A and B are shown apart, each in its own frame.
Chain A
Amino acid sequence: MKKQKAVIGLEMHCELKSNSKVFSPARNTYNEVPNANIAPVDMAFPGTLPVVNKKCVADALKMSMALNCKQPEYMYFDRKNYYYPDLPKGYQITQMESPVGINGHIEIEVGEKLVPVDIHDIHLEEDAASLDHYFDTSTIDYNRAGVPLLELVTEPCLHSAEEAVAFLEHMRDVYKYCDVSEADTKKGQIRCDVNISIMDEDATEFGTRVEVKNVNSFGGVYDAINYEIKRQSELKEAGRYDEVEQETRRWDEESGTTIHMRSKVDAIDYKYFVEPNIPKYKITKEWLEELKKEIPRLHLERKYDYINNYGLSNYDATILVKEKNVADYFEECLDLGIDAKVASNWITTQVLGYTNKYEVDIKDVYLTPKRLKDLTDLISKGTISSKQAKDIFFKVMEEKKEVKDFVSKDNAQISDKEELTKIIDDIIANNPNQVEEYRGGKTNLFDYFVGQVMKNTRGKANPVLTKEILNYKLKG
């Protein structure tokens, strides 16, 4: 058999952040109590009507722009009709004819390689209720019914489980950067459908496409893809490729396999048509301009900026851009004039060490970039040592005071040249034998003199200055 190539397309559903749901006034927050966040329209009581949440549309348009998609001239929605117990209205309000974005393209990083990904479309829709199945009953929780959902559909342009997961991770970071979603897979906020086919490496025609629905973790996506590639390849290898049918399967986490749900012939006709209760409205250029300004510089752009223009290592830059607040903190440090590498070192070790340990957000940390600047200035001026700086760092955090409050006569370094010269003169005068030996060639005695100075000053002598004066004096 010829070498096989996998062709993968993803549908990524991501819940958006908002005060209220996308077409309903009910609250959109994660709630442990079932059926606590509901309005009449979420349960499709007769006569209720959808009202579009403008914030959700704005966020959807922002994401459309962030993915370099084309935005439509008019905003409107469609109904996708089907019966299911988790869908109270019997239809889902979604976008079929005119999604918020089409024909997008982005680059993602896979390993250290940049890979282009084409976006078919991105559209705004409402989530369904959630079902829980027990031994002999099922329960419905309508908290999730009507939660804003962005569905992103890629072209079949990915070729491995690694690429697929890298894409999902990239998108998760983009959503978080733009602050439109918590994008937390643990809360079920990201769900994926995966389309997989295989083909001969040199072939031009795609193989038979299999859809795997409702994969709810990135690990699941990885495993499902590899499982399907293996399943399809083995069938092909055995000359039974005709057994690979165009079908919908589901990922079974427990067994680590995919299971047949329905064949193409049983595909549902969703009978799409325009939602008549939401009037079509024009998306103005001005509005798009405004929204565009709210899109922050994204992580990949920042990462390459840090590496190429500030000389940071890939490793450090990756850590810095992982969360937008951290990258913003770093950039604020740069704006204040802290050396990039110094700032990077402080953030990646001390600051993040602290935020991880105490589980706080970097933007709430008492040691602001301004205070970090005070601290690093003192080091570069030689007022304090690096070791002292670390102590002060924690004291500032704990006692919520200014850096200068911890720099006193007692702990300040002796950086006064005259004062140090006087001390060193005394030491030289009191150690004539050692001076003699040093000058006779026993240069490793230099450290002895440094030690004496430190002992004399209880460690507060500026080490650089001490060495400089000692060198000069010992030459004789």
Chain B
Amino acid sequence: MYMDKSIEELHELLKEGKVTSKELIKESLVKSHEVQEKYNAFVTICDDAKETSVTDELVSGIPFGVKDNYSTKDVLSTGSSNTLKNYVPFYTATVVQKLFDKGAIMANKTVLDEFGMGGTGTTGHTGIVKNPWDPKRMCAGSSAGSACAVAAGVYPYALGSDTGDSIRKPAAFCGIVGYKPTYGMLSRYGLFPFASSLDHCGVLTRSVKDAAIVVDAMKGKDSHDMTSWDSSKINLTKSLNGDVKGKKLFYIKEIANIDNYPHASLQLKEHLENFHNTLDKFRSIGVEIDEVSIDQRLLNAIPSVYVVLSCAEATSNMSNLTGIIFGPRGKSDKITDMMMEHRTKGFSPLIKRRFVIGSYILQKENQERYFKNAARVRRLIVDKMKELFKDYDGLILPVSSGPAKFLQEGDDTIDENTNVLEEHLQIGNFGGFPSITIPDGFINNLPVGINITGNCYDDSNVLNLAFALESTMNYKGQIAKEVK
């Protein structure tokens, strides 16, 4: 058993010849089929994956997973949508290619909520993804398959994408690390777009260091993506020294203070208690943490701003899905009917609903009221954060209102006021901020997570904070164990 190890450990073993790349692939593929059987995490398992030679690159010779909304040459790339169920691209996304160039091996393509739109991992065209800690529960989404596979020990890391919280929430529900760097540190070329101004590439791992290693291997300015920037002076892995004395963080009172939830469930109470206990651990290693109050109205606007902007951009971004050039072609003599049939049959009801919202918002008579106002509120929220980042190294908050939810709604009724608690990670997408979730405990034997978000370009600082906090707890490298 090797696939439960960290990238550095595997690299050492490969270097010393104690294991071969071929053996790692074999193990990863066997594990993939087991996980597929149990949790339905993959669209494609690359049974023909070939070993690579081991070099000084840490990722060389080691298998990894790719969310199925990344374009991979000669390998089916569906975005978990029927509209692309037969689409085999002829080019590879920049970040995936960078990993290939360094000798990493793609073991499978993972299931997502259709085109990343959804937070449950249940809307992919190949069916729902189950949580490896408890198959009755969801992984959250949209990077559900990637989170599931990493947590289940299929490989040390998998690529995800994050438009609202699609990496950072499933990471929390699966008890692993999820990191999306500053907007533009990773090229989006080859990532199927959902909402371009909010879309981020990122990674799911079992440790902060692995997250740093993988992003270091993928980052860089890309001539195919004008929003990418030169980060050659940043070395995330090297900046992990664990020294956080004198660092300052804040949490938002309206989100994380238990007093804000007069009717809190036992679970929510435990979750917030665990959060504050984690803060105490952080304080014990020299980090100062303040409670900051932010206008509740601004916070309440977060989910609707997200819906407005993401649906509007999504409507436009997915207008290329007509079945004319790629994807299954609709059957009709008339071209408009061909497109109509392709889209009607191809998209799930959830997506269609979002398209209707997006179209409505973008209509000439509604633009000012919805689209432009949402853009203005986005700016207000980002400005508020940037103002706070002048005094603080980052924002620290609990992820979601507790552990993974049941696939079938049961006792898991949503508490009043938890709307913002569920959706606040979207702040990181509004501002393009670096943001990382790490596991910080268990509630009813199910993992929960905590998130640190910092200012743009301050990835090294954010990761080092997460690295230091991780070292005060025992969840690093944990593999999912099914609980009864």
Contact yes or no, A47 B325, CB < 8 A: no
Mark B78-120 against chain A: 1 for CB-CB distance below 8 A, else 0.
0100001001011101000000000000000000000000000
Name the one of B188, B312, B324, B335 contacting A273, with C-beta atoms under 8 angstroms: B312
Residue of B nearest to A48 (CB): B189
- In the complex, the answer to whether B320 meets A85 with C-beta atoms within 8 Å is no
- Neighbour of A269 across the interface among B87, B315, B326, B363, CB < 8 A: B363
- Within 8 Å of chain B (Cβ to Cβ): is A74? no
Contact between A90 and B336 (Cβ–Cβ < 8 Å)? no
Q: Which of A269-303 contact B (CB under 8 A)?
A: 269, 271, 273, 276-279
A83 touches B224 (CB 8 A): no
CB nearest to B197 among chain A residues: A276
CB-based contact B336/A271 at 8 Å: no
Chain B residues positioned under 8 Å from A365 (CB to CB): none
Interface residue B413 (Cβ < 8 Å from any Cβ of A): no
Q: Indicate if A337 sits at the interface (CB-CB under 8 A).
A: no
> Which of the residues A44, A52, A269 comes within 8 Å of B325, measured between beta carbons?
A44
Within 72-114 of A, Cβ neighbours of B (below 8 Å) are at 79, 81, 83, 85, 88-91
Q: Is the CB of B223 within 8 A of A51?
A: yes
A278 / chain B contacts, CB cutoff of 8 Å:
226
Question: In the assembly, what is the distance between CA of A271 and CA of B360, in Å?
Answer: 9
Q: Judging by beta carbons under 8 Å apart, are B363 and A271 in contact?
A: yes
Check: A43 CB closer than 8 A to any chain B CB: yes
Is B193 at the interface (CB under 8 A from chain A)?
Answer: yes
Tell me the nearest residue of chain A to B338, going by C-beta: A85
A276: chain B residues within 8 A (beta carbon): 195-197, 313
CB <8 Å contact, B316 and A90: yes
Q: Bound complex: CA of A50 vs CA of B224, how far in Å? A: 7
Task: Tell me the A204-228 residues at the B interface (CB within 8 Å).
Answer: none
B322 and A40 form a contact (CB under 8 A) = no
Given the interface contacts A277-B196, A277-B226, does A47 sit within 8 Å of B316 by beta carbon? Answer: no
Instruction: Note all chain A residues with C-beta closer than 8 A to B227.
Output: 277, 279
Tally chain A residues at the interface, Cβ within 8 Å: 27
Chain A min CB distance to B232 (Å): 19
Residues 165-207 of B, flagged 1 when their CB comes within 8 A of A and 0 if not, give 0000000000000000000000011111101110000000000
Q: How far is the CA of A455 from the CA of B364 in the complex (A)?
A: 89
- The distance in angstroms between the C-alpha atoms of A90 and B339, with both chains bound, is 11
A46 within 8 A of B: yes
Any chain A CB within 8 A of the CB of B212?
no
Total contacts A-B at CB 8 Å: 96
Q: Measured between C-beta atoms, what is the minimum distance from A135 to chain B in Å?
A: 13
In the assembled complex, the Cα of A79 lies from the Cα of B188 at a distance in Å of 19
| Contact of A40 (CB < 8 Å), options: B79, B87, B91 | B91
B93 contact set on A, CB distance < 8 A: 47
- Determine whether A310 belongs to the interface, using a CB cutoff of 8 Å to chain B: no
**A270 nearest CB neighbor, chain B only:** B364
B359 beta carbon closer than 8 Å to chain A: yes
Once the chains are docked, how many angstroms separate the CA of A201 from the CA of B312? 47
Is there a chain B Cβ closer than 8 Å to A45's Cβ?
Answer: yes
CA distance A44 to B197 in the complex (A): 18
In the complex, residue of chain B having the shortest beta-carbon distance to the beta carbon of A267: B364
Q: Across the interface, which residues of A come within 8 angstroms of B371, CB to CB?
A: 273
A90 B322 Cβ-Cβ under 8 A: yes
B residues less than 8 Å from A277 (CB atoms): 196, 225-227
Asked whether A46 lies within 8 Å of B84 as measured between CB atoms, the reply is: yes
Number of B interface residues in the complex (CB < 8 A) = 45
Q: Which of A44, A269, A273 contacts B320 (CB 8 A)?
A: A44
Residues of A within 8 A of B321 (CB): 46
Could you say which of A44, A45, A271 has the most chain B C-beta atoms within 10 Å of its C-beta? A271
- A336 at the B interface (CB under 8 A): no
Within 8 A of B (CB), among A250-278: 269, 271, 273, 276-278
Task: Return chain A residues, CB-CB under 8 Å to B339.
Answer: 83
The dominant DSSP class at the B interface is: loop
Say whether B87 contacts A46, CB under 8 Å: yes
What is the chain B residue whose CB lies nearest that of A278? B226
A49 and B362 contacting across the interface, CB-CB below 8 Å:
no
| Docked-complex contact A271 and B325, CB < 8 angstroms | no
Least distance between B226 CB and chain A CB atoms (Å) = 6
Are A51 and B322 in contact, with the CB atoms below 8 A?
A: no
Residues of chain B from 218 to 255 with CB closer than 8 A to chain A in the complex: 223-227
Task: Decide yes or no whether B451 CB sits under 8 A from chain A.
Answer: no
Nearest B residue to A51 via CB reads B226
Measured CA separation A344–B191 after assembly (Å): 61
**B324 adjacent to A85 (CB under 8 Å):** yes
Q: Are A49 and B316 in contact (CB under 8 A)?
A: no
Q: Taking CB as reference atom, which chain B residue is nearest A271?
A: B362
- Is the CB–CB distance between B192 and A47 below 8 Å? yes
Q: Which one of A45, A89, A90, A271 contacts B326 once the chains associate, using CB atoms below 8 Å?
A: A45
Q: A90 with B319: in contact, given A49-B224, A276-B197, A277-B227 (CB under 8 Å)?
A: yes
Cα(A81)–Cα(B339), bound, Å: 15
A192 to chain B minimum Cβ distance, whole angstroms, is: 25
In the complex, what distance in Å separates the CA atom of A85 from the CA atom of B340? 12
Nearest opposing residue in chain B for A41, CB measure: B224
| A85-B324, A91-B316, A279-B227 known; A269 vs B192 contact (CB < 8 Å) | no
Known: A85-B335, A90-B322. A46 touches B316 (CB 8 A): no
C-alpha spacing A441/B195, complex, angstroms:
104
Q: Are B226 and A49 in contact (CB under 8 A)?
A: yes
B437 within 8 A of A: no
In the complex, A83 Cα to B316 Cα: how many Å? 10
Bound-complex Cα distance A81 to B355 (A): 13
CA distance A276 to B312 in the complex (A): 12
Chain B residues in 8 Å Cβ range of A91: 316, 319
Q: In the complex, A176 Cα to B225 Cα: how many Å?
A: 32
Please indicate the chain B residues that have their CB under 8 angstroms from the CB of A43 in the complex: 325
Q: Would you call A45 and B71 a contact (CB within 8 A)?
A: yes
Chain A residues near B319 (CB-CB < 8 A): 81, 83, 89-91
Q: How far is the CA of A89 from the CA of B193 in the complex (A)?
A: 12
Q: Which of A331-374 contact B (CB under 8 A)?
A: none
B188 contacts across to A, CB distance below 8 A: 47, 49
Q: Is B475 an interface residue (CB 8 A)?
A: no
A52 surroundings in chain B (CB, below 8 A): 226
Cα of A79 to Cα of B319 in the assembled complex, Å? 12
Q: Which residue of B lies closest to A40 (CB)?
A: B91
Are B224 and A90 in contact (CB-based, < 8 A)?
no
Partner of B316 from A88, A138, A269, A273 at Cβ < 8 Å? A273
Q: Mark B331-369, 1 if CB is under 8 A from A, else 0.
A: 000011001000000000000000000010011100100
**A261, chain B: closest CB distance, angstroms:** 15
A47 contacts B312, CB within 8 Å? no
In the assembled complex, which residues on chain A have CB atoms less than 8 Å from the CB atom of B433?
A: none
Expressed in whole angstroms, the minimum distance between the Cβ of B81 and any Cβ of chain A is: 10
Q: Using CB atoms, name the residue of chain A closest to B189.
A: A49
Question: Given the complex, which residues of B lie within 8 Å of A273, measured CB to CB?
Answer: 312-313, 316, 362, 367, 371
Q: Which residue of A46, A79, A88, A271 is within 8 Å of B71 (Cβ)?
A: A46
Q: Measured between C-beta atoms, what is the minimum distance from B157 to chain A in Å?
A: 21
Complex CA–CA separation, A446 to B223 (angstroms): 83
Query: Bound complex: CA of A273 vs CA of B196, how far in Å?
Result: 12
Does B70 sit within 8 A of A, measured CB to CB?
Answer: yes
**Complex: A457 Cα to B197 Cα, angstroms:** 88
Across the interface, do B363 and A45 meet the contact criterion of CB distance under 8 Å? no
In whole Å, how far is B187's beta carbon from the nearest beta carbon of chain A? Answer: 9
Q: In whole Å, how far is B210's beta carbon from the nearest beta carbon of chain A?
A: 25
In the complex, the answer to whether A47 meets B362 with C-beta atoms within 8 Å is no
Q: Is the CB of B320 within 8 A of A47?
A: no
Considering the chains assembled together, what is the distance between the CA atoms of A52 and B223 in angstroms? 10
Q: List 22 A-B contacts (CB under 8 A).
A: A44-B320, A45-B326, A46-B77, A46-B320, A48-B189, A49-B188, A49-B226, A51-B223, A83-B322, A83-B336, A85-B324, A88-B320, A88-B324, A90-B316, A90-B322, A91-B316, A269-B364, A271-B316, A271-B359, A271-B364, A273-B362, A276-B196
Apart from A49-B226, A271-B362: 11 A-B pairs, beta carbons within 8 A: A40-B90, A45-B89, A46-B79, A46-B89, A49-B188, A83-B336, A83-B339, A90-B320, A276-B197, A277-B196, A277-B225
Nearest 6 Cβ contacts at the A-B interface = A90-B319, A271-B362, A44-B320, A276-B197, A276-B196, A47-B190
